[in-house]
Structure 1
Amino acid sequence: MFARLLRAGIRTGRISVIDHLGRRQDFGSGSPAVTLRLHDPKVSMEMGLNPWLKVGEAYMDGRLTIEEGSLYNLIEIGMVNTSGLMGAKMQRVMGVFNKLLRWWHQHNPVGLAQRNVAHHYDLSRQLFELFLDESMQYSCAYFQRPEASLAEAQQAKMRHIASKLLLEPGQKVLDIGCGWGGLGIYLAKTAGVKVTGVTLSREQHEVACQRVKAAGLEGQVEFKLQDYRLEPDRFDRIVSVGMFEHVGLKHFPEFFGKVEELLVEGGVALLHAIGRRDGPGHTNPWLRKYIFPGGYSPALSEVLPVIERTGLWVTDIEILRLHYAETLRCWRENFNRNRDKIRALYDERFCRMWEFYLIGSEVSFRYDYNMVFQIQMSRGIKAVPITRDYMFDWERQEAAAPKAKIAWKSGEAAE
C-alpha cells in the first residue's frame, strides 16, 4: 500500500524502497533522493493507510531506516509532493474529518492546558540548553543578516518585539507564556519596565526564577506558575510569544477577551505566533500525538475576526517568512552536535523522534504553508503613532547602543 501511494504521488525527487524480503522499488526520479529499508511486513501497509502518522512512528521505532540520503531528504520529498500523495479526493475527506475532530483535539481548559504544556516543556532543561541559544529563546528568531548567529538573531527578535511595544520606564508588562524568562528579563533590562510573566511549565518557571536572581532583577521581574486566565492585575503592555499555538481555536475568544480585560486604556499588546498561509486546517497527527498535544497554528482568517469582536484595534501586522526555517536549521545543527549527550539524557528513540520533529518543522516553514505573524493591538485609536517610523527608530537606536551584559545563569557577571 505504501508503494501504491508513492507510485501515484512522487513527482519531484526519488524514493527507493527495499522491503523486508530485500526487494527494491524506485519511485520518481532526480533529486533529492533517498533509499528506505522496511524491516517488517506490516509497516508498509500502516504507512500506506496513514503516512502522516505512521512514517514518523516507523522511523522512531527503527522499523524504517535510511540507507542512502537522509531523513531531511525523505521529509523534503514528502512535503513538496503533498498534493500528489494525498490526491484531491483524499484531501477533501481528510479535511472534513480533521475539522470535525479539531474541537476535541484543541480542548485546552484550565488544568488540561497545563498537562498538555508539561508533555513538551517539562522535559529536561539540559535538553533545551543543548540546542537553544544562551537566552533560551524557543521561538522564531529574526535574521536581519543571513550570516547572523542564532544568538544574534534571537537578540534581534527580542529587540524587534520591544520596538513594537512602545515601552517606557516603570510601565507594567505582562508576558503570557514567558518560557524560561528570556524576553521578560530582556525587556526589564533594556527598557526599565516591570515584568510579570506567567507559564504553565514547572520546569520553565523554576529556571525563569533562577535567571531573575542571576540578572539581579528581583522586585522588577516576577514569574508565576499560573494560567493567564487567572491573572487579576491590569497592564500597560502585554506580549505573548510562541504561546498562542497552544490556545486552541475554541479558546480564541477567551484569549483575546482576557487580553482586552487586562490591558489598560491606551495600552498596547503584541502577539507573536506560528500561522498558516493556506487557510483553516488541522495539526499534523504525528506532531499532535508526540510533540504538541492540544496545539494548533491558525490562519489569520481564524484570528482576526475574533480580535474584531473584542473591540481591540489591530494597529500592525507583520508576516515573517523563512525566519523560522533558519531558526530550526540552527537548532537542528546544535542538536546533531550534541546528539550523544541527548541520547544519554533519554535514548535513541527519543533522538529519532526529536530529529523528525525538528526536520519536519524546518521543511514546513521552508517549503509548505507555515509562517510567523506578529499582530500589534491597542485599546484606543491613538495608542500608537500613525506611522511605523517609531519602530525602526527605536530598533536602530537600541542596536547601536552599548550593550549591558545579561547574566543568564547563576555565577555569570551582570553589568
Structure 2
Amino acid sequence: MASAFLSIVQQIVRKGSLKLTLANGETHTIGDGTGEPVVARLADQEAEDAIRRDPAMRLGEMYMQGRFILEQGNIYDFLSLVKQNTTNEIFDFKMAALLLGRIAWQQLKSRVPVNRNKHNVAHHYDLSAKLFDLFLDEDWQYSCAYFEPPGIDLDEAQLAKKRHIAAKLLLEPNQRILEIGSGWGGMGMYLTEATEGAEFTGITLSEEQLKVSRTRAEKRGLADRVRFELQDYRTMTGRKFDRIVSVGMFEHVGIGHYGNFFRKVSDLLDDNGVMVLHSIGRPKPSFGTNAFIEKYIFPGGYIPSVGEVVLPLEKAGLLVKDIEILPLHYAYTLRHWRERFVARKAEAVALYDEQFFRMWEFYLAGSEMGFRWDELFILQIQIAKNQFAVPDNRNYIERNEAKLKEFEATRAPLEKVTF
C-alpha cells in the first residue's frame, strides 16, 4: 500500500530535488531534479504519521527529536525547497480544521484581559545570556540589522540599524528618551551617547536582559544618564518623553492590544515628540502565528500587517509621519545568526542539550525562510502628535546619519560582557 505521506509530498514537491527515505526503508526521488539535492529520512512510522497529520507543528518537533533527519542539505534547505513549491500544497479537511482552530484560539488569547506579558517574555528572553552571546553581534542587537550599504558584516549592519533609527528620531540635546522593550541595552546606550544631555529610560519585562543592561551601562559610566527598569509599558504613568523608540517589541503586544499600546504611547509622548516603531510586518493579515513558533519560541506573538498597525495608531490620535519597508534585511540577519549559531553547536549543546539546539536551529531556519519566501518584512513607522514635529521631506535622514557617523568615529569601543 502506497504511503499517504509520500503521496502528499509528491503532490507538493514538483520543482527541485528531494530524496526521501520513509519509515519502512523505501527511498523515493521526488521533484524535477533541478537544484541542489536535499536528502531526508524519517526514523519511524510514528514520526511519519505525525508530520502527515500536522506538518506545521510536528515537522519541527520531529526534527527536534532527531526523528526527521537531514542527510544532505540542512533544515533551511528543506524548508526552502518545500516553500518554493507551496502553490501545489495540499490540505485535507482535518488539516484545515486544525489550522482554523489554532487561529481561533490565538485570537481569543490575544483578547483575554489577563496580563501574560512577563510570562511570555520570560519564556524566550530569560534564557541564559550565554546562549544569545553565541550568535549576536558585539552589541547584542536581537532584531533586524540594516545591510546598507549591501555586503557589510553583521556588526556593521546592526550599527547601521541603530544609526538609521536614531536619524529618524531627530535627536536634540537634553531630551528625555524612552525605549519600550530595551533588550540588552545597546540601543539605549547608543542614543544616550549620541545626544548631549539626554536622559534615557529603557523598560523590559525580562529579568535577564535587565541584569545585563544595567551591568553594561554601569561599565560604560552611563548609570547617571541611563536607567533600565523592569516595567510593563501598560502601567507607566506620570512621565512624558520627547522621544520614544520600540524595536522588535511590538510583535509581542498581541493583536487584541494594539489600541491599548498606542493609547499609552499617546499618553507618554510629548505633544512635540517623535516615536519610531520598528517591527516585523506582513503583506496581509494572517490572524494567527505559526504553531511551532507559538508553542516553543514566542508564545503570544503575532506579526501584523501594515493596515493592522495603522488603524489603531490613528484611532489613538497619533499621526503617521513616515513608513519605510525594509524587505529581505531580516533574511540576511537570520542567515548570519543561524550560521554563527551552528558554528558553535558544541557550546549550545553544553548550555542546554541536543534537542534544544535543533529547536533553535529550526526556529532560525524557519524564520529566515519566512522572510525570504513568505514576503515578511521590517516595518519602520515614524509617529508624532504634531504635524510640524517632523520635516516635510526625507533628506534629513541622510544628513543625520552623516552626523551620527562622526559621533561613531569618536565613540569608545564596546566592552565584551563576560558571564
Q: Which blocks of at least 5 consecutive residues in structure 2 are unaligned?
A: none
Q: Which amino acid aligns with 1:225?
A: L
Contact 2:247 2:277 in 1 (8 A): yes
Contact 1:162 1:187 in 2 (8 A): yes
Match of 1:115 in 2: 119
Pairwise mapping of residues 239-254 of structure 1 onto structure 2 (< 5 A)?
239-254=245-260
Q: Does the alignment pair 1:268 with 2:274?
A: yes
Q: Which of 184, 188, 203 lines up with 2:188 in the alignment?
A: 184
Contact 1:247 1:255 in 2 (8 A): yes
Q: Which amino acid aligns with 1:127?
A: L
CA distance in 1, matches of 2:72, 2:340: 23
Query: SS of 2:251's equivalent?
Result: helix
Q: Does the alignment pair 1:328 with 2:331?
A: no
Match of 1:280 in 2: 286
Alpha-carbon distance change, 110 to 176 in structure 1, aligned in 2, over 3 angstroms:
farther
Match of 1:65 in 2: 69
| Offset at residue 39 of structure 1 (A) | 1.2
| Offset at residue 144 of structure 1 (A) | 0.7
* Residues 282-328 of structure 1: CA deviation (Å, up to 9, x unaligned): 21101111100000111111111111101111000000011111111
Query: SS of 2:127's equivalent?
Result: coil
CA distance in 1, matches of 2:30, 2:94: 20
Contact 1:237 1:268 in 2 (8 A): yes
Match of 2:53 in 1: 49
Query: SS of 1:164's equivalent?
Result: helix
Q: Which of 204, 208, 216 lines up with 2:209 in the alignment?
A: 204
Q: Which of 378, 398, 414 lines up with 2:384 in the alignment?
A: 378
* Residues 7-48 of structure 1: CA deviation (Å, up to 9, x unaligned): 211122222221222111222122242121111111111111
Q: Does the alignment pair 1:213 with 2:218?
A: yes
Q: Does the alignment pair 1:6 with 2:9?
A: yes
Q: Which blocks of at least 5 consecutive residues in structure 1 are unaligned?
A: none
CA distance in 2, matches of 1:92, 1:172: 49
Query: SS of 2:89's equivalent?
Result: helix
Contact 1:170 1:194 in 2 (8 A): yes
Q: Which of 377, 382, 403 lines up with 1:397 in the alignment?
A: 403
Match of 1:125 in 2: 129
CA distance in 1, matches of 2:345, 2:367: 18
TM-score, normalization by structure 2: 0.94
Alpha-carbon distance change, 109 to 326 in structure 1, aligned in 2, over 3 angstroms:
farther
TM-score, normalization by structure 1: 0.94
Alpha-carbon distance change, 180 to 72 in structure 1, aligned in 2, over 3 angstroms:
same
Q: Which amino acid aligns with 1:311?
A: G
Alpha-carbon distance change, 31 to 274 in structure 1, aligned in 2, over 3 angstroms:
same
CA distance in 2, matches of 1:33, 1:278: 33
| Offset at residue 105 of structure 1 (A) | 4.3
Contact 1:278 1:369 in 2 (8 A): no
| Offset at residue 195 of structure 1 (A) | 0.7
CA distance in 2, matches of 1:12, 1:175: 46
Over aligned residue pairs, what C-alpha RMSD do you find?
1.9
Q: Which amino acid aligns with 1:300?
A: V
Alpha-carbon distance change, 210 to 89 in structure 1, aligned in 2, over 3 angstroms:
same
CA distance in 1, matches of 2:303, 2:90: 21
Q: Which amino acid aligns with 1:8?
A: Q
Alpha-carbon distance change, 410 to 10 in structure 1, aligned in 2, over 3 angstroms:
closer
Contact 1:172 1:194 in 2 (8 A): yes
